[in-house]
Structures are given as C-alpha cells and as structure tokens.
Amino acid sequence: MNKLLSILIWGVTFVLLVLVARSFWQAYQPVAQTLQGQIEARQYSISSKVPGRIDQVLVKKGDRIEKGQLVFTLLSPELVAKLEQARAGSAAASAMASAADTGARKQQVAAAKDTWQKAKVGAQLAEKTSQRITNLYNDGVVAEQKKDEALTQLKASKFTENAAYQMYQMAKEGTREETKKAAQEKARAARETVAEVKAYADETKVNSWHDGEVAQVLLRSGEIAPAGFPVVNILDMTDVWAILHVREDQLAMYKMGEVFSAIIPALGEVTYEFKITYVSVMGDYATWRATDTSKGFDMRTFEIEARPVQPIQGMRVGMSILVQQ
C-alpha cells in the first residue's frame, strides 16, 4: 500500500515538473507576430483640358465603365465662339491664297496695257516735239532754254512709258511665287488654328481612357470645372496590391520577388499568396523607432508592395491583409 502511494506521488510530481518545464519553455519562445497591411488599387482621375460648366455627369459611384465611354460633358460658349472665329479666319486666308494663285483679273491686265499704250503715245509725241524745238533752236528762232525743256520732257515721257510697260508685264505674269507661297502658308496656319480650337472644343465631351469602377464623383451638373480638375475618379480592380510596413530588422523575410501567404479577414480564413514587387524606405518623419541604446542604432520602416499571385474574387480597396511572421 505504501509502495503504491509512493509511486502515485512520484507520478504526480513528475507530471507537475513536466507541466512547469513546458510552461517555462513556452514562456521563452518567441511570440508569433501578425503584420497587418491594406489593399490598394490603381486609381485614375478623369478631367478635361479646358475649363467649363458641368453639363451632365453620366455615371455614378459603383458604376462599371469601359475605355472610350462618355463620362461627362461641359458647356463652354467661349470655345464655340472661338471655333467660329477660327473658321472665319481660315475661310478668309483661303480666299486670299486662291486670289494669289489666280493672279490679276483680265480687266486689270487690259487696264495696265492701256496705261502703257497711253504712255507710249505720250513718249512719241514728246520725241517729235523735242525734234521740232531742236530744229527751231538750230535756226535761231527759240532760246536754248526751250530746247532743254523739250529734251527733259522727252526723257520723262520715256521713263513713264517704261514704268507703264513694267506694270503691264507684272499684271500679265500674275502674283510672284513668293507671294503665292506666303498666302498658301497663311491659309495652312489658319486651318491648323481651326484644328487646334476644335480639339479644345472636343474636350467638352470627356471619355474614359481606362476600364474601371467609379469610386468618386467630385463635381455635379452646374458646377464649374477648372482645367485639369478631376471630375470623376475610377479604380482599376484588375491592378491591385497590398501595402505592408516592415521594420528593417524584419526586412530579411521580405525580399523582392519572394512569395508569402496572407489572410484577408473580410474574405474569410482562406490563405492567399502574394508576390513582393516593390520595397522602399518610408519618409524619416514617421519611420524611426528607438531601440536599446546598447545596440547603437535606431530602426527605420520600409514600405512593401505585394501583388496577388492569382486574381482574388471579392477583394476591395481598404481591406486588411494579415501576415503571420
């Protein structure tokens, strides 16, 4: 009986010692830490290059939109007026270029010829008059002054005839090639101005450049939209990633290209795999963490981006992600 009691006591003592030893062993084991991050997605802002008043916003939060879909329209009477002004200027420049190519009208050519003929007849008369005065001077009838005046009149008539002839030739030849080219270039510049203003006018109808989901509608009908101000923000849920903040003493476990497992609580206890695609140090203002001064340094925090290895159904921006370290 005493032997049985002794064995029982020793057995209980042994079990207690094992339990105490196990408790001490567990107490000194490193505690598993949970690293928490957040899901992010690519975001695009849809805006216009020109200012204007919002006419219609054709989408609402939560809508799925496709690339090329009309998102909102603007009212801009100033652009409409500018476009009409540019078109009028282009028409005028084209007309001037056409006139330069056509050259002088036949009536203008005929008038220039008649002017030349008139000057030619005048020169012939001046030549005969000068000859008569010269003969009279030689006979001693008129003074030398009269002879000089007649000679001067003859020279002036010759110059007038030559100038009229040159004007007639210019009218026949038409506009100079340089003038034609200048008129054509002005017409082309006017057409380009029309194209530029029309491009701005087209910006009053704004389409999406990406597929996505409407996350925010920042302006409504009737409000003024400055140039470049985002009117609608969309999320591309096919381009998502997780953001994690890791102390540098744990960074060795998170290297570029490595894959780790994580849980997204909002989607249940299923484990998903993520691949690290980016590692960068965060700004100094929020990343220093004091350690034991005997270690001689303070630790910084690094930001890690990790993308799902496989698409995850139901994942949304802002969901938490948990990683067991």
Rounded distance, CA 258 to CA 276, Å?
Answer: 6
Q: Tally Cβ neighbours within 10 Å of residue 106.
A: 9
**What is the DSSP secondary structure assignment for residue 245, as one 8-state letter?**
E
**pLDDT surpasses 70 at 1:** no
**pLDDT surpasses 90 at 39:** yes
The tokens for 7 are: 């064995």
pLDDT for 239-253, tens place per residue? 999 999 988 888 888
Least confident of 115-129, 226-240, 277-291, 301-315: 277-291
**pLDDT surpasses 80 at 171:** no
**What is the DSSP secondary structure assignment for residue 175, as one 8-state letter?**
S
Please state, for a pLDDT cut of 90, what percent of the chain lies above it: 24
**Three-class SS of residue 85?**
helix
**Per-residue pLDDT at 207:** 93
pTM for this predicted structure: 0.58
Q: Which helix (H) or strand (E) holds 18?
A: helix 2-27
Q: Which of 61, 82, 51, 43 is nearest to 206 (CA)?
A: 51
Bridge-partner residues for 303, per DSSP?
245, 280
Q: Which of 238, 189, 182 is nearest to 89 (CA)?
A: 189
Q: Which helix (H) or strand (E) holds 194?
A: helix 177-202
The residue type of 22 is: R
**pLDDT surpasses 70 at 76:** yes
The terminus-to-terminus CA distance of the chain in angstroms comes to 54
